[in-house]
C-alpha cells in the first residue's frame, strides 16, 4: 500500500493526501525494588513526505517526535523514571516503525536530582537505593491504517528534552590486538598516544606523527577481531568524582549520567578522564584510542549521550 501511494504521489508530482500509518507499542517488564511492573507506551508512525527536515523525502516517522518513544512514571518513593530505547539516531530511527515485533536494547533512568540520572540495564542493575532488573524491551505494530497527510509536523524531536552524557571504555587485551601486525608496528614504534605516568599524551605533533596516530586509531576501529571482541566484552563504565571521570568502583551498579550545560551533545567540549594513573583532558565524541603499556592493552574511551524529558 505504501509503495502504491508513493508511486501515485510521484506520478502526480505531489504528496498523496492519504498516507499509511501504524499504531506501535514500546513495552517492557521490569522488577523494580522487588516489584514487577509492566511498562508500555503507544505511539504512531506515518509514511509521508518529510523533506522539510530530511533529504529522504517520504519516510516512516513519528509526527510527535522520536522522543515520544519512552515510558515515564514514578517509583513508590516518588522518584521519577523514564524507560528509553538505548539508541535512536538518524541512521536507525525508521526501524522503530517496523511492523515486526522487534527487541530493542533499552535503559531505565532514575532522576536523582541535581541534573543527574542513574541508568539501569542488563549489566547494571543495582544502586545504593534501588535495584532494577529490566526485561527485554520490544516494539511491535498493533494496527495498520490510512490517515490524512499533514504538512510540516513541527520538528524532529519533542521540545524540552535535555541531553545527558556518560563516559565508557572498552579495554582490548594484547591477546586480541597483537594479531594485527600493523598495529603492533605502530605501538612498538610509539606512533600512538600512550597512557603512562610521566608520558603525557599530546596532540601537538609534527604532521607525519599525527598521520601515524590517526592511522593507528583508524586501524584499531576497523580491525574485525577487535570489533568482534568489543561486541561480546563488557564495557568499562565510569563515574564522575570531583569533576573527573574514573572507572566505577562497582561495574554492576547503575551508571551515572549528567545533564549537559548545552542543549546539544555536538557542542560539548573536553572532559577530564583518569585511567591507569594518568589524568587527561580529551574530547570523547567521537571515541579516542590509547595504548596503555602497563596493561599492554588498547583502550577506547567514548562519550555516550541520551535525551531525557527532565
Lowest mean pLDDT among 82-86, 124-128, 304-308: 304-308
Rounded-to-integer distance, Cα 171 and Cα 101, Å: 34
In this model, does residue 9 exceed pLDDT 50?
A: no
Q: What is the mean pLDDT of residues 249-277?
A: 79
Please say whether the beta carbons of 204 and 221 come within 8 A.
no
Rounded-to-integer distance, Cα 60 and Cα 48, Å: 7
Q: What pLDDT score does 153 carry?
A: 56
Q: What pLDDT score does 10 carry?
A: 41
Lowest mean pLDDT among 53-67, 139-153, 280-294: 53-67
Q: What pLDDT score does 202 carry?
A: 57
Rounded-to-integer distance, Cα 305 and Cα 263, Å: 12
CA distances for 48 relative to 2, 93, 124, 147, 154, angstroms: 9, 15, 39, 10, 14
User: Which residues fall within 8 angstroms of residue 131, CB to CB, at 6 or more apart?
Assistant: 31, 32, 33, 34, 125
pTM, rounded to two decimals: 0.81
H-helix or E-strand spanning residue 25: strand 18-32
pLDDT in tens, 122-163: 889 989 899 999 988 999 998 999 998 877 655 555 567 788
In this model, does residue 94 exceed pLDDT 50?
A: yes
Dihedral-angle region of residue 90 (phi above 0 means left; psi in -120 to 50 means alpha; beta otherwise)? alpha
In this model, does residue 66 exceed pLDDT 50?
A: yes
Q: What pLDDT score does 49 carry?
A: 83
Q: What pLDDT score does 11 carry?
A: 40
Residue of higher predicted confidence among 167 and 10: 167
Rounded-to-integer distance, Cα 130 and Cα 33, Å: 6
Q: Is residue 12 very low, low, confident or very high in pLDDT (cuts 50, 70, 90)?
A: very low
Q: Is residue 190 very low, low, confident or very high in pLDDT (cuts 50, 70, 90)?
A: confident
What's the whole-number average pLDDT of the chain? 83
In this model, does residue 299 exceed pLDDT 60?
A: yes
The phi, psi pair for 258, rounded to 5°, reads -125, 140
Q: What pLDDT score does 6 carry?
A: 45
User: Which residues fall within 8 angstroms of residue 142, CB to CB, at 6 or more apart?
Assistant: 22, 23, 24, 25, 42
Q: What pLDDT score does 265 carry?
A: 46
Q: What pLDDT score does 3 carry?
A: 52
pLDDT above 90 covers what percent of the chain?
41
Rounded-to-integer distance, Cα 259 and Cα 117, Å: 8
Residue 309 in grid coordinates: 524529558
Q: Is residue 118 very low, low, confident or very high in pLDDT (cuts 50, 70, 90)?
A: very high
Whether the CA torsion 156, 255, 166, 115 is positive or negative: it is: positive
Q: What pLDDT score does 51 carry?
A: 72
Q: Is residue 288 very low, low, confident or very high in pLDDT (cuts 50, 70, 90)?
A: confident
DSSP for 193-260, please give it: -B--TT----S---HHHHHHHHHHHHHHHH-HHHHHHHHHSPPEEEEEETTEEEE-S-TTBPEEEEE-
Amino acid at each position: 500500500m505504501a509503495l502504491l501511494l508513493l508511486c501515485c504521489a510521484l506520478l502526480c508530482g505531489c504528496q498523496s493526501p492519504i498516507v499509511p500509518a501504524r499504531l506501535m507499542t514500546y513495552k517492557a517488564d521490569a522488577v523494580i525494588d522487588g516489584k514487577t511492573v509492566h511498562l508500555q507506551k503507544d505511539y504512531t508512525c506515518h509514511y509521508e513526505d518529510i523533506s522539510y527536515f530530511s533529504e529522504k523525502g517520504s519516510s516512516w516517522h513519528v509526527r510527535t517526535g522520536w522522543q515520544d518513544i519512552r515510558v515515564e512514571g514514578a517509583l513508590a518513593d516518588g522518584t521519577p523514571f523514564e524507560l528509553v530505547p538505548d539508541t535512536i539516531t538518524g541512521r536507525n530511527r525508521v526501524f522503530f516503525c517496523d511492523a515486526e515485533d522487534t527487541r530493542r536494547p533499552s535503559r531505565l533512568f532514575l532522576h536523582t536530582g541535581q541534573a543527574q540520572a542513574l541508568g539501569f540495564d542488563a549489566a547494571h542493575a543495582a544502586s545504593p537505593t534501588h535495584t532494577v532488573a529490566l526485561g527485554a524491551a520490544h516494539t511491535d505494530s498493533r494496527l495498520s491504517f490510512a490517515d490524512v497527510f499533514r504538512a510540516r509536523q513541527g520538528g524532529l524531536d519533542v521540545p524540552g528534552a535535555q541531553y545527558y552524557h556518560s563516559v565508557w571504555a572498552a579495554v582490548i587485551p594484547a591477546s586480541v590486538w597483537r594479531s594485527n601486525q600493523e598495529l603492533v608496528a605502530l605501538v612498538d614504534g610509539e606512533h600512538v598516544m600512550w597512557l603512562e605516568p610521566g608520558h603525557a599524551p599530546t596532540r601537538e605533533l609534527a604532521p607525519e606523527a599525527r598521520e601515524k596516530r590517526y592511522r593507528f586509531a583508524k586501524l584499531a576501529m576497523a580491525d574485525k577481531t577487535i570489533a568482534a571482541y568489543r561486541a561480546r566484552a563488557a564495557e568499562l563504565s565510569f563515574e564522575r568524582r570531583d569533576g573527573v571521570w574514573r572507572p566505577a568502583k562497582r561495574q554492576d551498579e547503575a551508571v551515572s549520567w549528567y545533564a549537559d550545560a548545552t542543549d546539544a551533545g555536538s557542542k560539548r567540549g573536553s572532559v577530564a578522564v583518569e585511567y591507569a594513573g594518568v589524568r587527561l583532558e580529551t574530547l570523547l565524541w567521537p571515541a579516542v584510542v590509547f595504548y596503555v603499556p602497563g596493561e599492554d592493552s588498547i583502550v577506547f574511551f567514548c562519550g555516550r549521550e541520551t535525551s531525557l524529558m527532565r
